[in-house]
A = this chain, B = another copy of it.
C-alpha cells in the first residue's frame, strides 16, 4: 500500500480551485478503508479549509455542520483516519478518501456508519459495535 505524499501549499491551492464547493461552501467527503475489502466507512463534509488541512497534513479533517467548525477526525475519540489517497470526482463536488482507520469510524462504535442493511423484513444491522460509545468518548466525560 502506497503512502500519501502531500503537495506543497501552492499546488494544494490549485487543487482546491478544482473543487466545486456548494452554496454552503462544502464538498461531500467519502472515507473508504484502504484495507483489501475496501469498506466504505462514512460520509461527511469538508469546507475549503478542511480539505486544505487534510491534503496538507495527510490526517483527515472534516467540517462539522452541526458544530460549524473543523472536525479533526479522532481528536476526541482517538479514532483517527490517515490519508492514503485523495480523489476528486468528475465534477469536483465530492472527494473520495482512502484511509487507514484507527479503530472504528462510526460514533456508535461500529467500523462503518453504513450498517443498516435493507432486507425483505426491513433494516438489519450488518455489524455489532466493536466498542461502546461510552468507552469511545470516556476520556471526555
Q: Which residues of A line the B interface, CB within 8 A?
A: 4-8, 11, 14-15, 18, 28, 30, 32, 37-40, 42-43, 55, 85-92, 94-96, 106-108, 110, 113-123, 126
Contacts and interface: CB of A to CB of B under 8 A. Distances in A.
A120 B114 CA distance: 32
A118 B40 contact: no
27 contacts: A4-B118, A6-B120, A7-B118, A7-B119, A11-B120, A11-B121, A11-B122, A14-B122, A15-B118, A15-B122, A15-B123, A28-B43, A32-B38, A32-B40, A38-B39, A40-B40, A42-B89, A43-B94, A85-B117, A86-B118, A87-B115, A87-B126, A88-B118, A89-B113, A89-B114, A90-B113, A95-B114
Contacts of A42: 89
A112 B95 CA distance: 12
Copies in the complex: 2
Contacts of A8: 120
B85 A18 contact: no
In the A-B complex, the 5 residue pairs with the closest CB atoms: A38-B38, A88-B116, A89-B113, A96-B114, A87-B114
Contacts of A87: 114-118, 126
